[in-house]
Amino acid sequence: MMSPIYNYSERISVDWNPEFKDDAIIFGQKISHLFPNSNLTDTTKFLKKGDVFVLLPGENFGVDFLINKIRDKCPHAIVTDKKVRQLLGNLPRYCKTFFWDNLKDYIGFIAAGFYNNPSDKLDVTAVTGTDGKTTVVNLAASIFANSFEDSAAIGTLGVVIYRKNQRKQVLQDYSPVNLTTPSAVILQKIFDKLRNEKIGKVFLEASSIGIITQRLQGTNIKTAVFTNLGSDHLDFHGNLVNLAYSKSQLFSHPALTNIVFTEKNRLQHSEIHSVYEAIERSDAKKISVGIETTPNKSTNLTSEILIVEKNVSRFGTLVSVIKNDKESEPFLIKIFGKHNLENLSLVAGLLSDDLKVSNAKKILGDCKLPEGRFELLDRENFPLVCIDFAHTPESLKVTLQTLDRLKEKKSSNLICVFGCGGNRDINKRPIMGENSSLLCRSWIHHFR
């Protein structure tokens, strides 16, 4: 077992309502009133002249480094923790300094107050799980926009606004944060922008690291979704038990009214119990979903909504929807693989109030996976090429199994090229290599 980056020696729950929450919100509002034309940011590359900078030193960046980094950008003010008061040195006279005890625990609420609690005006859904977060949030935002109202997705692909007729807009100024879940400060700034854009629904990727490091503090989350549990970020968490525990904290959010999950994943790992226990403890409405890939044999009778696979080819998957013991007419979707059908079933769960067997084809029939998620390049007289962001052993395995099913001839070759670069989470690499060697005729890896 590896030593985790995060300290789990004390199993401390995320406190969604800490003692001085209201004071922190008021504190943020006061700073906003003092600097009405400023933005609040904790990221030096977003900092502009006249902004308010949140100075939170960490393992990678100390106080001196951050002060030198922001000096030339001339912020009007700095918000920092009382613990670093003695380390600030000589700040420019024009730069006012505000202090707050245990700032890391409260900065989400301060940022929410600064931007006038923007998530209160939005319908926020947070999606957690090892695989599928990006697909679910972007698929959901696209489908909701096409059928109901303009929506937005926040996560690995940046901040994307989806509008009717498959139109979308990437907010470039808010997207290059290099985090699945942005910091608490940047997240509130994004919510403020989306509120001003008249966006109704927001779908947010909630990473395990983002949850346990309190990036969602100050966010009013109405719906939570759980996809699955797999081997990822174990360099940070140490093991699957800690990983599952981190994800489970999302389901204790006091504002939740709905939770969507796949029932079969309850048996996926013994370590997953903490997630489903948290789901059961919540007072929110529970919506269980699932898929059926075995004809005439239902193994998901407890699921409220089922996506049923009828047939699959390189042209798409023929599916139907079962809800309230009624089944829709079959229709073709450009989605492949049971993992993506599970992702679609979670989106169907989010649509539970509006989705009926009579309108399933209309709402789901034109759904399209985001770029880089089982994206097929199919050209005449050329091999079928698939681009997929499979970044865990589990997701790579199911992607290769799906491609094996799409081969027109059983004798056709399946060749895999994959990489796991960087210095993080290296223990999953040999497992991914093993999966490739077992499922492919040949494979090429790149780990640099």
Domain ranges, residue 405: 375-446
C-beta separation of 105 from 79 below 8 A: no
Pair 106, 138 in one domain: no
d(Cα 345, Cα 324) in Å, to the nearest integer? Answer: 15
| Separation CA 361–CA 369 (nearest Å) | 16
Q: Are residues 132 and 29 in the same domain?
A: no
403 in the same domain as 282: no
Q: Are residues 145 and 179 in the same domain?
A: yes
**Which of 98, 114, 130 is the endpoint of a domain?**
114
Do 191 and 224 sit in the same domain of this protein?
yes
| Structure confidence by residue, pLDDT tens digits, 201-242 | 999 999 988 999 999 999 999 999 999 886 565 556 567 788
- Model pTM? 0.87
Residue pair 272/300 in contact by the 8 Å Cβ criterion: no
Measured at the CA of 213, the angle between CA 89 and CA 278, to 5 degrees, comes to 160
Per-residue pLDDT reduced to its tens digit, 75-124: 999 999 998 887 787 677 778 999 999 999 999 999 999 999 999 999 99
Which of 91, 114, 137 terminates a domain? The answer is 114
Residues 159-204 pLDDT 10s: 999 998 878 899 988 766 667 899 999 999 999 999 999 999 999 9
| pLDDT in the model for residue 258 | 98
pLDDT of amino acid 74:
87
d(CA 117, CA 111): 8
Is residue 266, in this structure, part of any structural domain at all?
yes
- Closest by CA position to 241, among listed 231, 250, 251: 231
d(C-alpha 86, C-alpha 70), whole Å: 18
Domain membership of residue 314 (yes or no) is: no
Residue 321 lies in a domain: no
Which domain CATH number covers 414? 3.90.190.20
Q: How many domains does the chain have?
A: 3
Backbone phi and psi for residue 296, each to the nearest 5 degrees, phi listed first: 60, 20
Tell me: the pLDDT tens digits for 49-64?
A: 999 999 998 766 788 8
125 and 148 within one domain = yes
Residue 329: inside a domain, yes or no? no
Q: How far is CA 441 from the centre of its chain?
A: 33
Closest CA to 400 of 315, 339, 319, 344: 339
* 316 within a domain of the structure (yes/no): no
Beta-strand relationship, 96-100 and 77-81: parallel
Q: Answer for the pair 230, 394: CB distance below 8 angstroms, yes or no.
A: yes
**Entry field: residues in the chain:** 448
Last residue of a domain, one of 84, 114, 144: 114
Q: What is the CATH number of the domain that holds 183?
A: 3.40.1190.10
Higher pLDDT, 352 or 374: 352
Q: Binning pLDDT at 50, 70 and 90, where does residue 20 land?
A: very high
How many Cα atoms sit within 13 Å of 254 on the Cβ side?
7
Whether residue 3 lies inside any domain: the answer is: no
| Single-letter code of the amino acid located at 123 | D
Dihedral sign for Cα atoms in the order 100, 49, 194, 131? negative
Q: Give the Cβ contact number of residue 255 at 10 Å.
A: 15
The answer to whether position 148 is within a domain reads yes
276-324 pLDDT, tens digit per residue, is 999 999 999 999 999 998 755 555 557 899 999 999 888 899 999 999 9
67 and 126 part of one domain: no
Coil, strand, or helix at residue 17?
A: coil
Query: Is residue 4 assigned to a domain?
Result: no
Beta strand 52-55 with 77-81 is parallel
CATH number of the domain within which 76 lies: 3.40.1390.10
- Is 53 in the same domain as 201? no
Same domain flag for 188 and 161: yes
Which tokens belong to 248? 């489970």
Look at residue 4 and tell me whether its pLDDT is greater than 60: no
Domain shared by 164 and 271, yes or no: yes
The mean pLDDT value for 319-330 works out to 95
Task: Specify whether 124 is located in the same domain as 180.
Answer: yes
* Pair 407, 352 in one domain: no
- Rounded distance, CA 384 to CA 378, Å? 5
The pLDDT assigned to 289 comes to: 96
Q: Phi and psi (nearest 5°) for 324?
A: 55, 40
∠ Cα 185 120 107 (to 5°): 25
